[in-house]
Amino acid sequence: MNSVIIVGAGHAGVELAAALRQRRFAGAIDLVSDEGEVPYQRPPLSKDYIKRLGSPLVLRPAKFYEEQKIGLRLGVSVAAIDRAVRSVILSNGEVLAYDHLVLATGARNRRPPVPGIDHHDILQLRSLTDARDLAKRIRNFRRIVVIGGGFVGLEAAGLLRLMGIEVDVVEMAPRLMQRAVSPTVSEWFLKFHHDSGVGVHLSRQVEAVEHCDGRVNVLLAGGVHLEADAVLLAAGVMPNVELAAAAGLEINNGVVVDDFLATSDPAISAIGDCAVYPSIHLPGPTRLESVQNACDHARTLAARLTGTLQPYDALPWFWSVQGAARLQIAGLTKPGLTEVVRGDIGSGRFSVFLLDDDRLQAAETVNSPADHMLARRLIVQGARLDPMALADNSVELSDL
Ligand code: FAD
């Protein structure tokens, strides 16, 4: 194989380029990014970046791409794929041939079909441009409405409160981070944000956003109105699959790949937020939005492209920083698991272990990083734990 083209220079695309070189791949690597920035880390955008501003945290220093002979093309997108001749057409008209093509196109914010949500004043937090825009405008804000009580919305809410801004979070589900965490952890974060002064509106759908003289009026189902200086949209993401779909690749809430991250065309792979894959940790097709998933996908694919075939089986893990609270998740949760709490919920340092029978399936830890690290190891080992002993704080977790 002489040439690899990677579409998208987020966590997955950059890690793949670096891992290929680490594995001594000597062919051409082109890394095409429709963003105009040296590739950067997204997680800080909703954590401390807004407060500290300055330079973003780059994934690799600019000189890395030059030194490693990685053709980083910024501010240009891949507009089409010609599978018959194995080439891509760039938005500037250039045509590049590939031996292997990798889609690392990530995801973009979902916009619920609500009147007023497409207005140019609506703030978002997906890209560095979004974060800079928010940081610039925030100085004039006293009150903001965040649409979405998932990770990004709650991280932003925590940060904005620390900056003295009044915040309302509107979530249509009956609890916070419903898709990702247990009711116990949702409940704890509800109280935490409430105690920090965030107004949380659960089971509430936004019906319209009215814009008037630089202010907004957010209308919720049930007749509630929230007036504010701005709205931050954080209602989840959708995978960027249009390029793959137009090329006739299989799509199902993401670009469908097999255990080895190959699409329905063996000359094309997909990794990161845009890829839906068969996880060994959950039944059914899985698509994750996390740095771990993007980077581990990239490393698995780099191994295959350099001759080491291994299925993707990494353990998912995730973190979120909301105000002064740190949440870490190991493994993936599913309905019907047994919940065991360790630590003291009231003190704000505790862990929820989720067992499938007595086998550890997932762990959610709040301000307890040691439990998180241990849980990762135990899940990978397929550890079987006695729920009674697990709940007993006098028994060391490492002794179980
Ligand atoms: P992305 O990072 O989305 O990169 C894809 C890139 O491809 C983008 O630059 C996109 O513009 C580009 N692209 C798309 N189509 C084309 C095309 N046709 N041509 C050229 N370029 C194209 N995860 C965690 O694990 N922990 C966290 O705490 C955390 N916090 C987050 C906070 C925020 C504010 C956000 C937005 C995300 C956060 N995430 C976090 C999620 C994490 O950042 C993503 O899972 C990760 O960025 C996925 O990497 P990716 O490379 O698959 O996609």
Residue 55 maps to which CATH number? Answer: 3.50.50.60
254 & 366 share domain = no
171 & 228 share domain = yes
18 & 88 share domain = yes
Q: Does residue 12 lie in a domain region?
A: yes
126 & 218 share domain = yes
41 & 88 share domain = yes
18 & 83 share domain = yes
- Residue 122 CA to residue 210 CA, distance in Å, equals 11
In 100-205, the DSSP E strands lie at: 100-103, 107-109, 143-147, 166-170, 199-201
User: pTM of the entire structure?
Assistant: 0.96
Residue nearest to atom 52 of ligand 1 (CA): 272
Which of 47, 273, 286 should be mutated for ligand 1, with most atoms under 8 A from CB? 273
Sheet holding 275-278, edge to edge: 255-256, 275-278, 285-286
81 & 9 share domain = yes
269 & 357 share domain = no
The CA 399 to ligand 1 mean position distance, Å, reads 38
Partners of residue 247 on adjacent β-strands: none
Q: Does residue 261 lie in a domain region?
A: yes
**Helix 11-22 to helix 291-305 angle, to the nearest 10 degrees?**
40
Find how far residue 388's CA is from the centre of its chain: 34
Ligand 1 site, residue 46, Cβ cutoff 6 A:
yes
344 & 384 share domain = yes
Q: Does residue 74 lie in a domain region?
A: yes
Domain boundary among 233, 267, 287: 233
The CA 15 to ligand 1 mean position distance, Å, reads 12
Domain boundary among 175, 208, 233: 233
The CA 12 to ligand 1 mean position distance, Å, reads 8
206 & 268 share domain = no
Condensed to tens digits (0 to 9), the pLDDT of residues 145-179 reads 999 999 999 999 999 999 999 999 999 999 999 99
Residue nearest to atom 43 of ligand 1 (CA): 42
Q: How confident is the model at residue 295, as a pLDDT?
A: 98
Identity at 330, one-letter amino acid code: A
Q: Does residue 315 lie in a domain region?
A: no
77 & 119 share domain = no
Q: How confident is the model at residue 107, as a pLDDT?
A: 98
Ligand 1 site, residue 154, Cβ cutoff 6 A:
no
Condensed to tens digits (0 to 9), the pLDDT of residues 353-378 reads 999 999 999 999 999 999 999 999 99
The CA 11 to ligand 1 mean position distance, Å, reads 6
Q: How confident is the model at residue 50, as a pLDDT?
A: 82
Number of domains in the chain: 3
Domain boundary among 187, 209, 233: 233
Q: Which domain holds residue 22?
A: 3-108+237-305
Ligand 1 site, residue 365, Cβ cutoff 6 A:
no
Q: Does residue 324 lie in a domain region?
A: no
Sheet holding 28-33, edge to edge: 70-74, 28-33, 3-7, 100-103, 268-270
Ligand 1 site, residue 289, Cβ cutoff 6 A:
yes
Which of 110, 290, 295, 296 should be mutated for ligand 1, with most atoms under 8 A from CB? 290
Q: Does residue 157 lie in a domain region?
A: yes
Q: Does residue 347 lie in a domain region?
A: yes
Identity at 115, one-letter amino acid code: P
Q: How confident is the model at residue 49, as a pLDDT?
A: 86
| CATH of residue 386 | 3.30.390.30
Work out which ligand 1 atom sits closest to the CA atom of 293: 45
Ligand 1 site, residue 109, Cβ cutoff 6 A:
no
101 & 122 share domain = no
Measured distance between the N- and C-terminal CA atoms of the chain, rounded to whole angstroms: 48
pLDDT lower than 50: segments of the chain: none
Ligand 1 site, residue 34, Cβ cutoff 6 A:
yes
**Helix 151-162 to helix 183-195 angle, to the nearest 10 degrees?**
20
Query: Do the Cβ atoms of 213 and 121 come closer than 8 Å?
Result: no
